[in-house]
Amino acid sequence: MDQLLRNFFLFLSNNRTLTKLAKSYGFKFGAGRFVAGETIEQASTKIKQMNEDGFAVTVDHLGEFINNEAEAKAAVEECIHAINVFAEEGLDAELSLKLTSIGLDISQELVMNNMRFILNAAKKLGLIVTIDMEDFSRAEQTLQIFKELRSEYKNVGTVLQAYLYRVEADIEDLNAYDPYLRLVKGAYKESEQVAFPNKQDVDENYRRIIKQNLLQGNYTAIATHDEAIIDFVKKCEKEFRIPREQFEFQMLYGIRIDLQNELIAAGYKVRVYVPYGKDWFGYNMRRLAERPANVMFVLRGIIKQ
């Protein structure tokens, strides 16, 4: 049943018509459970509180399926606006973004120019910009772009997904770029040709690449809510004497806040991924797919309208 629901929500997350409808309909249906607001000004009030509680954050202006230059330009301007708000408000915040939101599906030249524009603005404030990893069809191009940018900028990072068969080879390959990597299990619907279909295999591969990247000496953001994986990282820390400056935990806004607080209390660095914006539909459907029980929050949201 869970698998059926998972596929259903992943199918919805990929639906362009529903994405557009949700965007024009507004911030409804329990969207606020996983999204910090429609504007960076709304989100920044919450970020300030999180900073006071000891959390760093990475902020994502939501946007998917952008296929015209004007929308891509507007997304870039929003990123610059967010960076300026971080500076004005003195927030401990970095930026995360999806390349499709700034023109990946339009042209390579456009997305490279847009990334350089954002990276230059972020560099002035010493901020890292992490390129989220989207579905498999865009993985190779995303990694090529990351490699090209990484040879020009120290403040760019990216994400690798443990469910992909290719991920170990990617970790090995990226080692030459002194990479800043966020490691995740992976959130998209992929075929068995390219990704492990079984959760157990994904978890095992996740452990393998965490260890591999830590032992290669690279900064590693372990982005998970899985307590068994977090325990594994703590075990690696002890066994291989990994300094705490070499890694951080990351979790999504609104998910496992108890665990986030526990890690802060134990002295670990924790960064919360804080999404904001009107384009919340695909993001929220992926959160439902990860845990169909979340549908109750959405139903409660609908009832409250």
List active site positions: 132, 182
CA-CA distance, 107 to 192, in Å (whole number)? 29
Applying CB under 6 A, does 207 fall inside the site for ligand FAD? no
Q: Work out whether 250 is an interface residue with ligand FAD (CB under 6 A).
A: yes
Of the ranges 13-21, 45-53, 119-127, 245-253, which one interacts with ligand FAD (CB under 6 A)? 245-253
- Phi then psi for residue 190, to 5 deg, are -120, 160
**DSSP annotation of 104:** T
For ligand FAD, which stretch binds (CB under 6 A), given 35-43, 78-86, 167-175, 220-228? 220-228
- Our measurement of the distance from residue 198's CA atom to the centroid of its chain's CA atoms, rounded to an integer in Å, reads 22
Q: Give SS3 for 271.
A: strand
Of 168, 161, 164, nearest to 186 (Cα)?
A: 161
**Which member of 185, 195, 209, 260 binds ligand FAD (CB under 6 A)?**
185
Which residue spans within 40-86 are E strands per DSSP? 56-61
Separation of alpha carbons 40 and 262, rounded Å: 27
Q: Is 156 in the site for ligand FAD (CB under 6 A)?
A: no
Report residue 4 as tokens: 């059926």
By CB under 6 A, name the one of 226, 262, 264, 301 that touches ligand FAD.
226
Task: Report which DSSP code applies to 195.
Answer: B
Residue 223 touching ligand FAD (CB under 6 A): yes
Task: Tell me which stretch binds ligand FAD (CB under 6 A): 43-51, 73-81, 106-114, 218-226.
Answer: 218-226
Contact 277, 38 (CB under 8 A): yes
- Asked if 225 is part of the footprint of ligand FAD (rule: CB under 6 A), the reply reads yes
Question: Contact between 133 and ligand FAD (CB under 6 A)?
Answer: yes
Nearer to ligand FAD, 70 or 114 (CB): 114
Cβ nearer to ligand FAD, comparing 278 with 287 = 287
Stated length of the chain = 305
Q: Which stretch binds ligand FAD (CB under 6 A): 18-26, 37-45, 102-110, 217-225?
A: 217-225
Measured from the CB atom, the residue of 155 and 224 that comes closer to ligand FAD is 224
What CA–CA distances, in Å, run from 208 to 21, 69, 174, 189, 213?
41, 40, 16, 22, 9
Q: Is residue 187 close enough to count as binding ligand FAD by CB under 6 A?
A: yes
Shortest separation between residue 186's beta carbon and ligand FAD, angstroms:
5
CB atoms within 10 A of CB 148: 15
Among 122, 159, 210, 236, binds ligand FAD (CB under 6 A): 159
Is the Cβ of residue 80 or residue 255 nearer to ligand FAD in the bound state?
255
Q: Which residues pair with 60 in a beta bridge?
A: 96, 275
Alpha carbon distances (Å) from 85 to 25, 39, 45, 118, 275: 26, 11, 11, 14, 15
Contact 98, 61 (CB under 8 A): no
State which of residues 28, 73, 138, 291 lies at the interface with ligand FAD (CB under 6 A).
Answer: 291
| Residues near ligand FAD, by CB under 6 A | 132-133, 159, 161, 184-188, 223-226, 250-252, 255-256, 273, 287, 290-291, 294
